[in-house]
Structure 1
Amino acid sequence: MTPARLARRRNYHVGNVRGQLLAAARDILAESGRAALSLRAIAERAGVAPGTVYYHYVDKAALLAGLAVDGFRQLALAMHEAYAADPAGGGLRTTGGAYLAFLREKRELYELMYEARDSGRTDVAEAEAEAIAVSRSAIMADFQGLYPEAIAHDMAEAIWAWGRGIAAVGLARGADGGEQGDEAVQSAVRGLTALIARA
């Protein structure tokens, strides 16, 4: 065992094991991809015994759902911080930019998030709802005074759905690691922006 892992074992505390496991899973996902996310590898990276994982997560799907929840919370925070830093830039531009940056930087995590979301996990759906609320609030501020609140709400919801579709196109076209995905995303964003400007 490496000195770093020995140090993690010495720092082991029951209260932070879930956080250690999620941090380990995030690191493995970023460094080696989804295929490397075994419970044994996650436990080793976190510096805990393999059996400890099952005390906190009933199975691998539950742990990955925890990772997805964490991912949506990261996305919500990124959008919130982007808008707070430049509210004059507009909610659509700032939160949309943060969303696309998250997609570019954390592609595998983003894919995992929506796989878990679409599997019907309530906890993941609730985490996505938190992220949607951040986007909705910022975008509705763009439309304040231009549209009735109910219409602005529906437009913000539609923009989130379009954003997910744009991301799906980008991920599909960029599956080989080339630049086609980014080009597809940028083209779709320009089209969406033009549509909104004419609304």
Structure 2
Amino acid sequence: MGTTATTSAVLARRRSYHVGNVRSQLSAAASALLESEGASALSLRAIARRTGVALGTVYYHYADKHALLAGLAVEGFRDLAEALHAAADARGEMSSLRASGMAYLAFVRARPALYGLMYEMRDVGRREEVEEAESAAFAEMIRAVGQDFKPGSDPDAIRQVAQAIWACARGVAALALARGGPGRLDSETVREAVLGLEILVSRR
């Protein structure tokens, strides 16, 4: 009786593990592999080896490598959205524009391979779920910029400013990564880019 109860408890834990934890474990392993070895090293088999999860289970969560990459991109945009939201809310005396702009570029510096993958899947992969995740992150930029405007300001103007910041941040990030990785995106470059945008916006 005791053995049966023990076996049932073990099976229950395994079912719970597979339902609640495996996907996050696979995602974390894929993210780590992406940053350490690049997208070319990613495969469902490599993730299975790294985590010790059965290959069939990996395929249950990701139909193929493209789905894996799209999943990472979605999670990347969600993390970026959270970073922008937190920065705007914790800005103190700093403008929301500056706080969110610096948070965006800090994300790029910290997770360059993931950032590159996010836009590869957004611009080349054309996955709907990735586009929706980027839109949600951009909404956080709109929210942040709106905090710097007077109540009742034109929503179109706020969106246009947010779009300019988004495009500029993408450009600065792309240039830095093309020149040799996040190390080229130094703090002074980040500061000057964001302050330049802030000056332009202040003249609106």
In structure 1, what is the equivalent of residue 7 of structure 2?
none
Pick from 77, 80, 84 the counterpart of residue 82 of structure 2. Answer: 77
Equivalent residue, structure 2, for 1:111: 116
- Tell me the CA shift for residue 87 of structure 1: 4.9
State the alpha-carbon separation in 2 of the partners of residues 185 and 94 from structure 1. Answer: 11
Question: What is the alpha-carbon distance in structure 2 between the residues aligned to residue 190 and residue 25 of structure 1?
Answer: 35
Conserved? CA contact 1:139–1:156, under 8 Å: yes
TM-score, normalised relative to structure 1: 0.83
* Number of residue pairs the alignment of both structures matches: 188
Give the match for residue 176 of structure 2: 170
Structure-1 residue corresponding to 2:3: none
C-alpha contact (below 8 Å) 2:161/2:201 kept by paired residues: no
Q: Please give the per-residue CA displacement for 1:149-181, whole angstroms capped at 9, x wherever unaligned.
A: 321222222221222122212221234x753x4
1:1-199 map, 5 Å: 13-15=17-19, 16-118=21-123, 119-145=125-151, 147-175=153-181, 179=184, 181-182=185-186, 185-199=190-204
> Identity of counterpart residues, as a percentage?
53
Aligned partner of 1:122: which letter? E
Quick one: distance in 1 between partners of 2:14 and 2:75?
A: 22
Residue of structure 2 in register with 1:6 after alignment = none
- Note the residue ranges of structure 2 that are not aligned, 5 or more in a row: 1-12
Higher relative contact order (CA 8 A, sep 6+): 2
Q: Which has the larger radius of gyration?
A: 2
Q: What is the letter of the counterpart of residue 197 of structure 2? A: L
- 1:86-111 deviation digits (Å, cap 9, x = unpaired): 25422111111111110001000000
* Alpha-carbon distance in structure 2 between the residues aligned to 1:77 and 1:140: 17
Give me the whole-angstrom Cα distance separating, in 1, the residues matched to 2:87 and 2:191.
Answer: 19
Look up the equivalent residue of 2:145 and give its one-letter code: I
Contact conserved, 2:97 with 2:198, CA < 8 A, in 1?
A: no
List gaps (5 residues or longer) in structure 1: 1-9
What's the TM-score, normalizing by structure 2? 0.81
Over aligned residues, Cα RMSD in angstroms? 2.3
Deviations 1:60-98 (A, max 9, x none): 010110011011111111111112222542211111111
